[in-house]
């Protein structure tokens, strides 16, 4: 049963409208979401910590505004969640790690949370993630493994897997998430929801625990493209208005070479079909492998630097795969880190030129169906490799370029969700949103019905 | 991060033990194999970057505007 079952309204915009018009109370809406998350438990709801008292107090405040004839905002009473990486006043920001269990309580909410709550939305809890956000699987020894809502024996993807699960199950109409390497795009693809990763620097990071500050961004996971657009608009409160999409049909181009290798058999035909429908124009990004290498080095070095004192204090407090990756990052020569940064700058300059030929580039967001939790591996270069470090092979190069990307579920009767990743030039999120609407209208993409409990 | 170093040697438990000690990080013996495996992956990425002869004057390591 969905949290919004028996309601005629769907999505954040519809629910907020019902709350503003007094047809639905924010208290009822949030109580349903909290009850459902609690009943499902962390691994199936995606929520690790529910904030009942805070959420219900804010819901009552929203209802009071409505009762008094006021307008609580465009997200009136709409529940949402954030990964356990966003500061919440009075709570520990665990970042999925027990090494932070005794960290000071956050003194205030992350700016993104504050902006959404000022627009009437209500934070109901924090969500499951890979430890430190370092992984593509959301298999966390301490907080649990996010289970794919469409097959609970399979991964939800990561690192922000819990945030995608909560949206795929329609417990909340949207979640915030982070993405320095594919952390929201991979789970969006595997769980069949929409995921928007913003241009580097476009959305507020204040109060979001970092990992790789050269690449960290936040974004939105949702089920409705207009919800995603609205949340983005609210988060950009103090930013200049973004450039409008051109008033003409968009030009699509498929990324080939690196992005055409290692595609799962189950994903190739749907991708080819979409390509045929949008013009069969393709591009080789010759530097994609270079971009992935540079991103991997930057992430390893910056993450290791960030967690170095914790590693020195008690390396065994980390879960094994994360500890070993972080320690390896400590051993990277500074020269190679700087080389990776130069490469990033060089590649980013060349990426700009690509958009003279195409408005939107596309590729898969993940190579195929979600891997099994019992055997979390995938095929890569004719070998079985850990999904934890490889599910983002198509997202990592885009992260390095700092470009915005939007993941949409591919339409069709697939056994599990498959997601296509749309990419635009820096600052051109409006083009991404227009492209998404176009693909949804064409029936090439579709968000599957919410997974049933 | 460790300083300098141009050799691309495959990491071993012994080399990881030495390098971690040089970096001032003490870890139990049981960690070394996993660290070496992860460092091996990073060495591949480093090789990819080093093989690409980017002229340092063609891009700065310090500026980035998306």
Asked, for residue B33, whether it belongs to a domain, the answer is yes
Asked, for residue B23, whether it belongs to a domain, the answer is yes
Q: What is the pLDDT of residue A453?
A: 82
How confident is the model over A12-26, as a mean pLDDT? 97
Q: Does B13 contact A at CB distance below 8 Å? A: no
Task: Give the model's confidence band at A5: pLDDT under 50 very low, under 70 low, under 90 confident, else very high.
Answer: very low
CA–CA gap between residue A40 and residue A180 (Å, rounded)? 29
Q: What is the pLDDT of residue B63?
A: 74
Chain B closest-CA separation from residue A402 CA (Å): 5
- Positive or negative CA dihedral for A103, A104, A105, A109? negative
Burial class (CB in 10 A: 0-12, 13-18, 19+), A226: middle
How confident is the model over A192-196, as a mean pLDDT? 98
pLDDT tens digit string along A409-427? 999 999 999 999 999 999 9
Q: What is the pLDDT of residue A341?
A: 96
Spatial contact of A101 and A110, defined as CB atoms under 8 Å apart: no
Q: What is the pLDDT of residue B61?
A: 78
Asked, for residue B19, whether it belongs to a domain, the answer is yes
Q: What is the pLDDT of residue A8?
A: 59
pLDDT tens digit string along A292-318? 999 999 999 999 999 999 999 999 999
B4 or A439: whose pLDDT is higher? A439
Q: What's the 3-state SS for A345-407?
A: HHHHHHHHHHCCCCCEEEEECCCCCCCECCECEEEECCEEEEHHHHCCCCCHHHHHHCCCEEE
Q: What is the pLDDT of residue A285?
A: 86
Q: Which residues in chain B have their CB less than 8 angstroms from residue A325's CB?
A: 38
Asked, for residue B36, whether it belongs to a domain, the answer is yes
Tell me if residue A344 falls in helix, strand or coil.
helix
Asked, for residue B25, whether it belongs to a domain, the answer is yes
Asked if A300's CB is within 8 angstroms of B31's CB, the reply is no
Q: What is the pLDDT of residue B65?
A: 75
Kindly tell me if the per-residue pLDDT of A441 is higher than 50.
Answer: yes
pLDDT tens digit string along A226-281? 999 999 999 999 888 888 999 999 999 999 999 999 999 999 999 999 999 999 99
- Positive or negative CA dihedral for A167, A368, A254, A350? positive
Q: What is the pLDDT of residue A368?
A: 97
Q: Which residues in chain B have their CB less than 8 angstroms from residue A389's CB?
A: 41
φ/ψ region of A44 (left if φ > 0, alpha if ψ in -120 to 50, else beta) reads alpha
How confident is the model over A384-395, as a mean pLDDT? 96
DSSP for A410-444 reads: BPS--SS--EEEEE-STT-HHHHHHHHHHHHHTTS
Kindly tell me if the per-residue pLDDT of B4 is higher than 70.
Answer: no
The number of domains in chain B is 1
Asked, for residue B30, whether it belongs to a domain, the answer is yes
Average pLDDT, chain A: 96
Q: What is the pLDDT of residue B64?
A: 74
Q: Does B27 contact A at CB distance below 8 Å? A: yes
- Determine what percent of chain B is predicted with pLDDT higher than 90: 65
pLDDT tens digit string along A333-368? 999 999 999 999 999 988 888 899 899 999 999 999
How confident is the model over A445-451, as a mean pLDDT? 94
Q: What is the pLDDT of residue A7?
A: 57
Asked if B59's CB is within 8 angstroms of A290's CB, the reply is no
Q: Which domains does chain A have, with CATH numbers?
A: 1-453 (3.90.1300.10)
Backbone angles phi, psi at A445, to 5 degrees: -125, 150
Chain B closest-CA separation from residue A255 CA (Å): 19
What tokens appear for A50 in the block? 């529910």
The nearest alpha carbon in chain A to B7 belongs to A333
Going by C-alpha positions, the residue among A81, A74, A36, A75 that lies closest to residue A55 is A81
Chain B closest-CA separation from residue A25 CA (Å): 42
Q: What is the pLDDT of residue B58?
A: 80
Kindly tell me if the per-residue pLDDT of A102 is higher than 60.
Answer: yes
Going by C-alpha positions, the residue among A136, A7, A26, A113 that lies closest to residue A70 is A26
Asked if A342's CB is within 8 angstroms of B60's CB, the reply is yes
Count Cα neighbours of A56 within 13 Å in the Cβ-side half-sphere: 9
Asked, for residue B31, whether it belongs to a domain, the answer is yes
pLDDT tens digit string along A65-86? 999 999 999 999 999 999 999 9
- ipTM of the shown complex: 0.90
CA–CA gap between residue B50 and residue B66 (Å, rounded)? 24
Q: What is the pLDDT of residue A56?
A: 98
CA–CA gap between residue A24 and residue A30 (Å, rounded)? 11
Q: Does B29 contact A at CB distance below 8 Å? A: no
Angstrom distances, CA of residue A17 to CA of A24, A33, A120: 9, 17, 11
Asked, for residue B52, whether it belongs to a domain, the answer is no
Q: What is the pLDDT of residue A152?
A: 98
The whole domain housing B32 covers 14-43
Kindly tell me if the per-residue pLDDT of A166 is higher than 90.
Answer: yes
């Amino acid at each position: 049963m969905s949290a919004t079952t028996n309601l005629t309204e769907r999505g954040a915009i519809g629910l907020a409208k019902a709350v503003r018009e007094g047809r639905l109370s924010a208290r009822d809406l949030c109580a349903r979401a909290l009850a459902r998350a609690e009943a499902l438990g962390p691994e199936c709801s995606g929520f690790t910590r529910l904030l009942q008292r805070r959420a219900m107090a804010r819901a009552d405040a929203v209802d009071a505004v409505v009762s008094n004839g006021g307008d609580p905002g465009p997200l009136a009473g709409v529940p949402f969640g954030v990964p356990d990486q966003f500061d919440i006043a009075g709570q520990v920001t665990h970042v999925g790690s027990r090494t932070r269990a005794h960290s000071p309580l956050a003194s205030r909410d992350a700016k993104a949370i504050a902006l959404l709550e000022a627009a009437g939305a209500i934070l109901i809890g924090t969500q499951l993630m890979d430890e430190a956000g370092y992984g593509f699987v959301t298999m966390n020894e301490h907080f649990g493994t996010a289970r794919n809502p469409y097959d609970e024996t399979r991964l939800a993807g990561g690192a922000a897997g819990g945030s995608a699960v909560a949206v795929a199950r329609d417990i909340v109409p949207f979640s915030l998430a982070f993405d320095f390497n594919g952390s929201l795009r991979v789970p969006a693809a595997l769980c069949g929801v929409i995921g928007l990763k913003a241009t580097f620097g476009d959305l507020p990071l204040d109060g979001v625990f970092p990992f790789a500050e050269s690449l960290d961004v936040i974004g939105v996971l949702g089920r409705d493209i207009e919800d995603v657009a609205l949340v983005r608009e609210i988060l950009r409160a103090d930013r200049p208005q973004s450039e409008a999409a051109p008033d003409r049909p968009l030009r699509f181009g498929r990324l080939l070479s690196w992005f055409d290798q290692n595609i799962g058999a189950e994903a190739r035909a749907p991708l080819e079909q979409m390509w045929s429908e949008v013009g069969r124009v393709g591009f080789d990004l010759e530097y994609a492998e270079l971009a992935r290498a540079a991103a991997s080095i930057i992430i390893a070095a910056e993450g290791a630097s960030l967690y170095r004192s914790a590693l020195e204090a008690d390396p065994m407090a980390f879960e094994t795969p994360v500890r070993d990756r972080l320690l390896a990052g400590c051993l990277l020569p500074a020269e190679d880190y700087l080389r990776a940064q130069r490469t990033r700058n060089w590649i980013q300059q060349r990426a700009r030129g690509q958009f003279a030929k195409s408005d939107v580039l596309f590729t898969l967001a993940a190579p195929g169906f979600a891997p099994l939790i019992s055997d979390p591996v995938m095929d890569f270069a004719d070998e079985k490799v850990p999904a934890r470090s490889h599910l983002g092979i198509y997202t990592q190069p885009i992260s390095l370029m700092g470009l915005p990307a939007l993941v949409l579920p591919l339409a069709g009767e697939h056994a599990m969700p498959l997601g296509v990743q749309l990419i635009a030039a820096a600052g051109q999120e409006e083009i991404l949103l227009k492209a998404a609407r176009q693909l949804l209208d064409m029936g090439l993409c579709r968000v599957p019905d919410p997974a049933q409990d | 991060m460790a300083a300098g170093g141009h050799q691309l040697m495959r990491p071993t438990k012994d080399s990881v033990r030495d390098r971690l000690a040089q970096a001032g990080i003490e870890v139990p013996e049981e960690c070394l194999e996993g660290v070496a495996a992860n460092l091996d992956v990073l060495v591949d990425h480093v090789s990819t970057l080093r093989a690409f002869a980017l002229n340092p004057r063609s891009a700065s390591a310090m500026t980035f505007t998306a």
